[in-house]
């Protein structure tokens, strides 16, 4: 491995893997079904939580999505505050701002309401509330949050990140133009609310790209080198639900059943990678997000087939099993061909959704830095079926250069 020192990394990987194997990550309580968002006020009251800070973004507020929650909190006589300044790929500054509002307004819990950006902002702001001496950058990596966070409820409005049931959050350091993952069992929300009606108005490209993020979680967890029975079960359920429902959500956005199934697919994808980690797709996608602000789902959707092409041979049996879950006819083909069929089907879905094969912002001169960062991220944090040196990663990234 050229480009950075691997001394010590292998030992570090083994420790992280051993710890992940023995942790009981648990799951959040769940409320699901159309209108379930209206039950949050009672849930909070029954458990003695007070004054939530609703952490969200302007797009969500403008779409009128928090109205139901606010009316039900009013009806329950519960005081609350709204912070609506979350940005996609949330920055350290925005998260600190949310935490400051929480402290100033004397809030008692947080409701991350929106896509992964809003839920992650709520999760890390909650960690900062109870860990005032640990900076956000010091929280990056694994197991760096010492004290239990302030209570967090997660209400997804996209079906992709699974942040409502993961022990992860992803933050952006705008100064370094880089994204960093925070992984800690303390980040698991207390309650996840899967209300399909909240996702009816998602723009088509966000429905599809966030759906491909959920698929990436499930696939990367399933081909990880530290799978467990639990992570396998979650990953396969997610893959099946995504191939059965994502196209319907795209064609018929207010189809309650398909939308609810996608919410569960996202939840299961999150539960899978919480236990088995993600891999090289996320390592590359995070760097496209940090460097160029490429939306997370879109970055994953573009990168997924390229990385699977590169690592297919080292995990063909596992990919063949997922091909079956994807509903692909496998008759008369061997394992290698079945794995290939899955990658072909992912490419076909991308094409149907208008998702390109390249990243339009990618510049040749940035590739060495992006490759070094992605290679390092995978090495330090993930358990993919194959690791790539920065030089090998450069070769993969070049395939994503836009045509001149
Ligand atoms: N914590 C985790 O486990 C985890 C996992 C994967 C990704 N992530 C992170 O999550 C972030 C991405 O989250 P995301 O893909 O859900 O997108 P997002 O939260 O960034 O939202 C994208 C856009 O969609 C809009 N939007 C969301 N829901 C809507 C709705 N129902 N109707 C209309 N507009 C809506 C938002 O206003 C926003 O403009 C990234 O920072 C990524 O790194 C976290
Ligand atoms: Fe993701």
Shared-domain flag, residues 222 and 331: yes
Is residue 404 included in any domain, yes or no?
A: no
Atom of ligand 1 minimally distant from the CA of 179: 43
Atom of ligand 1 minimally distant from the CA of 213: 6
Test site for ligand 1: of 64, 154, 158, 179, most ligand atoms within 8 A of the Cβ: 158
CATH number of the domain encompassing residue 262: 1.20.1090.10
Shared-domain flag, residues 156 and 285: no
Beta carbons of 152 and 102 less than 8 angstroms apart: no
Q: Say what the pTM is.
A: 0.96
Is residue 277 included in any domain, yes or no?
A: yes
Ligand 2 centroid – CA 73 distance (Å) = 31
Shared-domain flag, residues 144 and 267: no
Q: Which two tokens stand for residue 136?
A: 């956000």
* Number of structural domains in the chain: 2
Those residues with Cβ within 8 angstroms of residue 396's Cβ, 6 or more apart along the chain or in another chain: 284, 306, 307, 310, 371, 388
Shared-domain flag, residues 278 and 340: yes
Is residue 16 included in any domain, yes or no?
A: no
Q: In residues, how long is the chain?
A: 404
Pocket of ligand 1 (CB under 6 A): 57, 59-60, 63, 65, 88-89, 114-118, 120, 157-158, 160-163, 166, 168-170, 198-199, 201-202, 206, 210, 213, 270, 296-297
Shared-domain flag, residues 294 and 309: yes
Ligand 1 centroid – CA 296 distance (Å) = 8
CATH number of the domain encompassing residue 148: 3.40.50.1970
Residue nearest atom 34 of ligand 1, based on CA coordinates: 202
Ligand 2 centroid – CA 158 distance (Å) = 12
Shared-domain flag, residues 219 and 195: no
Is residue 6 included in any domain, yes or no?
A: no
Is residue 74 included in any domain, yes or no?
A: yes
Beta carbons of 118 and 161 less than 8 angstroms apart: no
Residue 17 is predicted with a pLDDT of 79
Shared-domain flag, residues 111 and 194: yes
Shared-domain flag, residues 95 and 50: yes
Q: At what angle do helices 390-398 and 280-292 cross, to 10 degrees?
A: 70
Shared-domain flag, residues 234 and 124: no
Is residue 403 included in any domain, yes or no?
A: no
- The ligand that comes nearest to the alpha carbon of residue 114 is 1
Ligand 2 centroid – CA 61 distance (Å) = 24
What's the distance, CA 10 to chain centroid? 25
Ligand 2 centroid – CA 109 distance (Å) = 25
Residue 8 is predicted with a pLDDT of 66
Residue 21 is predicted with a pLDDT of 78
Shared-domain flag, residues 191 and 211: no
Ligand 2 centroid – CA 331 distance (Å) = 32
Shared-domain flag, residues 245 and 310: yes
Residue 277 is predicted with a pLDDT of 93
Give the end of a domain, one of 199, 218, 236: 199
SS (H, E, C) the chain: CCCCCCCCHHHHHHHHHHHHHHCCCCCCEEEECCCHHHHHHHHHHHCCCCCEEEECEHHHHHCCCCHHHHHHHHHCCCCCEEECECCCCCEHHHHHHHHHHHHHCCCCEEEEEECHHHHHHHHHHHHHHHCCCCCHHHHCEECCCCCCCCCEEEEECCCCCCHHHCCEEEEEECCCCEEEEEECHHHCCCEEEECHHHHCCCCHHHHHHHHHHHHHHHHHHHCCCCCCHHHHHHHHHHHHHHHHHHHHHHHCCCCHHHHHHHHHHHHHHHHHHHHHCCCHHHHHHHHHHHHHCCCHHHHHHHHHHHHHHHHHHHHHHHHHHHHHHCCCCCCCCCHHHHHHHHHHHHHHHHHHCCCCCCCCCCCHHHHHHHHHHHHHHHHHHCCCCCCCCHHHHHHHHHCCCCCC
Ligand 1 centroid – CA 310 distance (Å) = 28
Per-residue pLDDT of the chain (404 residues; tens, 9 = 90+): 545 666 567 777 778 778 877 888 889 999 999 999 999 999 999 999 999 999 999 999 999 999 999 999 999 999 999 999 999 999 999 999 999 999 999 999 999 999 999 999 999 999 999 999 999 999 999 999 999 999 999 999 999 999 999 999 999 999 998 999 999 999 999 999 999 999 999 999 999 999 999 999 999 999 999 999 999 999 999 999 999 999 999 999 999 999 999 999 999 999 999 999 999 999 999 999 999 999 999 999 999 999 999 999 999 999 999 999 999 998 999 999 999 999 999 999 999 999 999 999 999 999 999 999 999 999 988 999 999 999 999 999 999 999 87
Whole-number Å distance between alpha carbons of 161 and 44: 24
Test site for ligand 1: of 61, 114, 214, 263, most ligand atoms within 8 A of the Cβ: 114
SS (H, E, C) 324-364: HHCCCCCCCCCHHHHHHHHHHHHHHHHHHCCCCCCCCCCCH
Residue 22 is predicted with a pLDDT of 82
Is residue 1 included in any domain, yes or no?
A: no
Residue 387 is predicted with a pLDDT of 94
Give the end of a domain, one of 161, 176, 199: 199
Whole-number Å distance between alpha carbons of 42 and 261: 25
Shared-domain flag, residues 195 and 208: no
Whole-number Å distance between alpha carbons of 312 and 397: 17
Dihedral of CA atoms 123, 371, 378, 361 in degrees, nearest 10, equals: 40
- How far from 81 is each of 84, 99, 106, 107, 310, CA to CA, in Å? 10, 12, 10, 8, 48
Q: If you search the block for the tokens 């795209």, which residue do you land on?
A: 250
Whole-number Å distance between alpha carbons of 121 and 97: 10
Residue nearest atom 17 of ligand 1, based on CA coordinates: 115
Boundaries of domain holding 114: 26-199
């Amino acid at each position: 491995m050229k480009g950075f020192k691997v001394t010590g990394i292998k030992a570090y990987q083994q420790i992280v893997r051993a710890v992940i194997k023995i942790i009981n990550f648990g799951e959040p309580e769940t409320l699901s079904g159309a209108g379930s968002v209206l039950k949050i006020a009672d849930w909070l009251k029954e458990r003695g939580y007070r004054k939530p800070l609703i952490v969200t973004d302007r797009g969500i507020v403008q779409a009128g999505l928090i109205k139901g929650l606010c009316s039900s909190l009013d009806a329950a006589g519960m005081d609350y505050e709204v912070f609506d300044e979350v940005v996609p790929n949330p920055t350290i500054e925005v998260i600190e701002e949310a935490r400051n509002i929480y402290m100033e307004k004397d809030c008692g819990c947080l409701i991350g309401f929106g896509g992964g950006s809003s839920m992650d902002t709520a999760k890390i702001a909650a960690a900062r509330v109870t860990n005032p001496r640990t900076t956000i950058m010091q929280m990056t990596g694994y197991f760096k949050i010492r004290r239990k966070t302030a209570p967090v409820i997660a209400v997804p409005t996209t079906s992709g990140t699974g942040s409502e049931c993961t022990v992860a959050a992803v933050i952006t350091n705008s100064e370094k133009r880089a994204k960093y993952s925070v992984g800690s069992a303390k980040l698991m929300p207390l309650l996840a609310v899967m209300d399909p009606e909240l996702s009816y108005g998602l723009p088509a490209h966000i429905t599809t790209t966030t759906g491909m993020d959920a698929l990436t979680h499930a696939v990367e967890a399933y081909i990880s080198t530290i799978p467990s029975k639990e992570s396998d079960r979650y990953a396969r359920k997610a893959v099946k639900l995504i191939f059965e429902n994502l196209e319907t959500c795209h064609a018929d956005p207010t189809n309650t059943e398909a939308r609810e199934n996608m919410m569960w697919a996202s939840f299961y994808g999150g539960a899978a990678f919480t236990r088995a980690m993600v891999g090289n797709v996320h390592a590359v996608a995070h760097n496209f997000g940090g460097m160029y602000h490429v939306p997370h789902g879109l970055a994953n959707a573009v990168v997924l087939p390229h990385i699977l092409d590169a690592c297919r041979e080292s995990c063909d049996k596992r990919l063949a099993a997922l091909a079956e879950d994807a509903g692909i006819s496998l008759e008369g083909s061997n394992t290698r061909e079945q794995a290939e069929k899955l990658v072909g089907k992912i490419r076909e879905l991308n094409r149907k959704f208008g998702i390109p094969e390249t990243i339009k912002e990618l510049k040749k001169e940035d590739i060495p830095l992006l490759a070094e960062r992605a290679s390092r991220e995978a090495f330090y944090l993930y358990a993919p079926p194959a690791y790539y040196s920065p030089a090998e990663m450069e070769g993969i990234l070049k395939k994503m250069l836009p045509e001149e």
